[in-house]
A and B are shown apart, each in its own frame.
Chain A
C-alpha cells in the first residue's frame, strides 16, 4: 500500500492489543504491509509500533502495543499499554487472541472492554487450532462478550479483510457510556472461563504431553549437546558460505576503486585528493563491507529462523541457572548469541531483559563475545600459526572452538564480577513464556533478514568507515620530519607493545581499528609496509609473509589473537551502548572491561612464553 499525499475522507485509528505470542505483530504486518520484526519469542515488541494503510478513501493508523497478559500494571509494558488504551479510548481497539488458548487472551479482552467502548476481538491462529482439534464459535463468543468477533489466521491473511470492515464500522458507531462493574481478578477469570466453556469446543482432548521437540531441546542429556551442535552448524554455514562472496566483493570494489580514480582524474583533481578519496575513504569502506556483509547476511537469517521456530526461549530456559549464578538471567544467553553475529545487535537485544540491573550487565559484557567481524581475522591468524606445519588437520578448528569457549567463559566471569561490584543486587524474578513451536516463514524471514542486515552494514560502513578511512590516510601520508605520523606513533607505542608480546604497529592498529574490527589486520600490514593506504587484498598466505618479515613469532600470533578477542567494543557498539544505557560512565566501563582483561592476559601469556624461550 503506497502512502500518497492524498486528503482522506475519513481517518480511523486502530490499537492492537493482546497477550504475548498471539501473533499481534503478524496482524500488524498484514494490515500495514510493514516489516515489523516478529519473533516467536515473548517480549520481542517492547515499544509501540505505528503503521498506516488506506482502504476505500479511509486512512487507517495502526498502533501495535507490547504484548501483555493483563492491565494490572505489574510490569512496565502493562503500565504503558494501560496508559495508552486509557488515553486513546475513542480509538478502535482490537484485542488479538490465540484460538488455541483463548482463556489466556480473553482476560485482557474483558479488561479492555471496560475501558474502551469501541472494541473488537480477532481470534488469530485458527489454522493451528484446527490442527489441534480446537474450534471457536465466533457467534457465541460475540454474544457473550458483546463485541464483534472476527476469526482468522493473520499469517495467511485470512480474516484481515473482515477485520478492516469491522473496524471501519465501529469507528462510525456512536459511543455510549457503558457502566463498568468492578470485578476482582478471580471473578474476571471465572467469567472468562465460563465464556470459553461455551464458545470453545475441543475434539480429542488429551493430557498435555511434552512434545518430542521439547524433550530433545530441554532434555537432561540432550539439551546442551544439541545447542552446541546447532551453534557449530550455524558457524560452519556462515563461515563457509561467506568466503566466496567476500572475495567477490573485494575484487568488485577493487575494480570500482580504479574506476573512481579514473573518474576523479578526468576532473583534474590533485593526486593527493584522489588518493585520499579512493585509497583512503573508499578502500576502507570497501574492506569493511566485503568482510562484514557476507557473514552477517548468512548468520542473522539463520538465527532468526531459530527464533521464529520458537527454539530461542528454550535456550534461555536451559541456561538460566548458569546466567543467574553470574548475576544475569537466561535471556542474557540470547543476547550473547546475537553478539556472535554483531555486538551492536547483541546490545540492542538486551532490551528483552526486564530488570535494569541485569540488562546493564548483559549489555556491558556482550563485547567479550567475538562478533562476525572478528572471525575472518581469527581464522587467518590461526592458519598463520599452522602455515609451516604440514599436519594441519583438526587443530585449527580445535583452537577456534577453544577461543570461542574462552570468550564465553570470560563473558560470564565479567558478568559475575560486575554483579558483585558495580551492579550489586538481588536476582530478579523471572517468568518466561515458552511458546509453542511454529513453522517459520522461511521466505519472508530470509528476505527480511538479508535486507535488514544489508542496510545496517552499509549504513555503518558509510558512517564509520568513511571518517576512519580519512584519519588513516592522513596518518599514513602526513609526514613529520620525513617520516609519516603512523611510523612515529608505532615507534612510540613499541615499548608498550613489547610488554604485551606484540609491537607498536599492532597496538596502533588496534587503536586505529576502533571503528571496525575488520580493518585491524589490514592496518597492521599497512603499517609494516609503510604504505599510504590499506592493502588491496588480504588472505592468510599473503599476510603471513609480511608478518614474519616484520619479526613475528608464534607468541606474537597468540597474543594478537588474545587482544583480538578481548579489546574495546567497536565504535558502533559503543555508540549503541551509550544509546541504550543513556550513560557515558557505563559506556566507558564497557570499553575498559574487555580491554583491561585483554591487556592483562596478553602480558601474562607473553611472560610465560618468555620463560620458555
Chain B
C-alpha cells in the first residue's frame, strides 16, 4: 500500500516576523534564513522562545526596527521573513 504523503496535510500557517506591525509582540519560533544570516541573527539573540517587539517602521516602510533582548535591531522585510514567530 503506497501512502501518498501530501506536503502538508493540515495547512499550518507560518507566521513570519515581517507581518508584525509597530506595537505587536511575538515569540521567536525558528529561523529559516540562509546560513550566514541565520548565524548573525542567532548571535544577536534570535532564539526560540525569545520575546520580540516590533517598535517602528522606516518612513519608506522598510526596514523595521525590532526590540529583542534589550537591543533595537533594524531588519529588512526580506530578512524578517526568515524569522518564524508565534503569538
Interface residues of A (CB under 8 A from B): 68-70, 72-75, 78, 98, 100-104, 107, 185-186, 189, 208, 210, 214-215, 218-221, 223-224, 313, 317-318, 320-322, 324, 330, 427, 429-436
B58/A69 in contact, CB under 8 A = no
A-B contact pairs, 23 of them (CB 8 A): A70-B43, A74-B36, A74-B42, A74-B43, A102-B70, A103-B45, A185-B42, A189-B45, A189-B50, A218-B58, A313-B74, A320-B74, A320-B76, A321-B63, A330-B63, A429-B40, A429-B76, A429-B79, A430-B76, A430-B79, A431-B37, A433-B72, A433-B73
Chain A residues whose C-beta falls within 8 Å of the C-beta of B53 in the assembled complex: 208
Cβ contact within 8 Å between B58 and A431: no
**With known contacts A74-B42, A208-B53, A432–B70 Cβ distance under 8 A:** no
Q: Across the interface, which residues of A come within 8 angstroms of B42, CB to CB?
A: 70, 72, 74, 185
Those of B13-39 within 8 Å (CB) of chain A = 22, 33-34, 36-37, 39
Q: Is the CB of A434 within 8 A of B58?
A: no
Q: How many contacts A-B (CB < 8 Å)?
A: 115
Q: In the complex, what residues of A have CB within 8 A of residue B58's CB?
A: 218, 223, 317-318, 320-321
Shortest A78–chain B CB gap in Å is 7
CA distance in complex: A434, B60 (Å)? 17
In the complex, besides A429-B36, A432-B63, 16 extra interface pairs with C-beta distance below 8 angstroms are A68-B43, A69-B45, A70-B43, A72-B42, A75-B40, A98-B70, A101-B71, A210-B56, A215-B56, A218-B56, A224-B59, A317-B74, A324-B76, A430-B75, A433-B74, A434-B72
Q: Is the CB of B48 within 8 A of A432?
A: no
How long is the Cα–Cα vector from A218 to B69 in the complex, in angstroms? Answer: 22
Q: Determine whether the beta carbon of A208 is less than 8 Å from that of B75.
A: no
Chain A residues near B65 (CB-CB < 8 A): 218, 317, 434
Contact of A431 among B41, B49, B56 (CB under 8 A): B41
Residues of A near B22 (CB, < 8 A) are: 210
Chain A residue numbers with a CB within 8 Å of B37 are 429, 431
Residue of A102, A185, A317, A318 ringed by the most chain B CB atoms within 10 A: A317
**Residues of chain B contacted by A224 (CB below 8 angstroms):** 59
Once the chains bind, are A317 and B43 in contact (CB under 8 Å)? no
Question: Is the beta-carbon distance between A430 and B59 smaller than 8 angstroms?
Answer: no
Determine how close the nearest CB of chain B comes to the CB of A206; give it in whole angstroms: 13
B56 and A214 contacting across the interface, CB-CB below 8 Å: yes
Point out the residues of chain B lying under 8 angstroms from A220, CB to CB: 57, 59
Q: A320-B63, A321-B58 are in contact. Are A73 and B39 (CB under 8 A)?
A: yes
B63 near A317: Cβ-Cβ < 8 Å: yes
A330 contacts across to B, CB distance below 8 A: 63
List the 7 closest A-B pairs by CB distance, nearest first. Answer: A101-B70, A74-B39, A70-B43, A223-B59, A429-B37, A321-B60, A432-B74
Looking at the assembled complex, report how far the CB atom of B33 sits from the nearest CB atom of chain A, in whole angstroms.
7
Interface size on B, residues (CB 8 A): 38
Q: Which residues of A contact B79 (CB under 8 A)?
A: 429-431
Residues of B with C-beta under 8 A to A218: 56-59, 65
How far apart are the CA atoms of A208 and B63 in the complex, in Å? 19
Please give the distance in Å from A431's CB to the nearest CB on chain B. Answer: 6
Which residue of the partner chain B has the closest CB to A108? B43
CB distance from B66 to the nearest CB of A (A): 10
CA distance A317 to B78 in the complex (A): 15
Distance of A219 Cα from B47 Cα, bound (Å): 29
B67 contact set on A, CB distance < 8 A: 208
- Report B4 CB to chain A, min CB distance, Å: 36
**Nearest chain B CB to A227 CB, angstrom units:** 10
B60 — which chain A residues lie within 8 A by C-beta?
Answer: 318, 321-322
Name the distance in Å between B69's Cβ and chain A's nearest Cβ: 5
Known contacts A208-B67, A429-B40, A432-B63; is-contact A186 B74 (Cβ 8 Å): no
**Cβ contacts under 8 Å, B40 to chain A:** 74-75, 429, 431
Whether A208 contacts B55 in the complex (CB less than 8 A), given A103-B69, A104-B69, comes out as: yes
* Chain B residue at minimum C-beta to C-beta distance from A329: B76
Instruction: Kindly list chain B residues whose C-beta atoms are within 8 Å of the C-beta of A103.
Output: 45, 69-70
The residues of A that contact B57 with a CB separation of less than 8 Å are 218, 220
Residue of B nearest to A219 (CB): B59
- Inter-chain CA distance A219–B49, complex, in Å, is 30
- For B68, give the chain A residue with the smallest CB separation: A104
Contacts of A69 in B (CB 8 A): 43-45
**Complex Cα–Cα for A505 and B50 (A):** 67
Whether A321 contacts B62 by the Cβ 8 Å rule is: yes
Whole-angstrom distance between the Cβ of A329 and the nearest chain B Cβ? 9
Q: In the complex, are the beta carbons of A104 and B48 less than 8 A apart?
A: no
Cα distance A58–B21 in the bound complex, in angstroms: 55
Given contacts A430-B79, A431-B79, A434-B73, is CB(A72)–CB(B62) below 8 Å? no
Specify which chain B residues have a CB less than 8 angstroms from the CB of A208 in the assembled complex. 53, 55, 67
Chain B residues contacting A435 (CB-CB under 8 Å) are 72
Of A101, A186, A431, which is within 8 A of B44 by CB?
A: A431
B84 to chain A, nearest CB (A): 15
Chain B hits for A318, CB < 8 A: 58-60
With a 10 A CB-CB cut-off, give which of B53, B56, B59 has the most chain A CB atoms: B59
The interface centre, meaning the residue of B44, B62, B75, B76 with most chain A CB atoms within 10 A of its CB, is B76
Q: Once the chains bind, are A104 and B47 in contact (CB under 8 Å)?
A: no
CA of A219 to CA of B57 in the docked complex: distance in angstroms?
A: 8
In whole angstroms, how far apart are the Cα atoms of A70 and B78 in the complex? 24
User: Measured between alpha carbons, how far is A72 from B43 in the docked complex, in Å?
Assistant: 7
Assembled-state Cα–Cα distance A224/B40 (Å): 30
Tell me, rounded to whole Å, the shortest Cβ–Cβ distance linking A271 to chain B: 64
Q: How far in angstroms is the closest Cβ of chain B from A225? A: 10
Known: A104-B71, A318-B59. A189 touches B47 (CB 8 A): yes
Q: How far is it, in angstroms, between the C-alpha of A208 and the C-alpha of B22 when the chains are bound?
A: 11
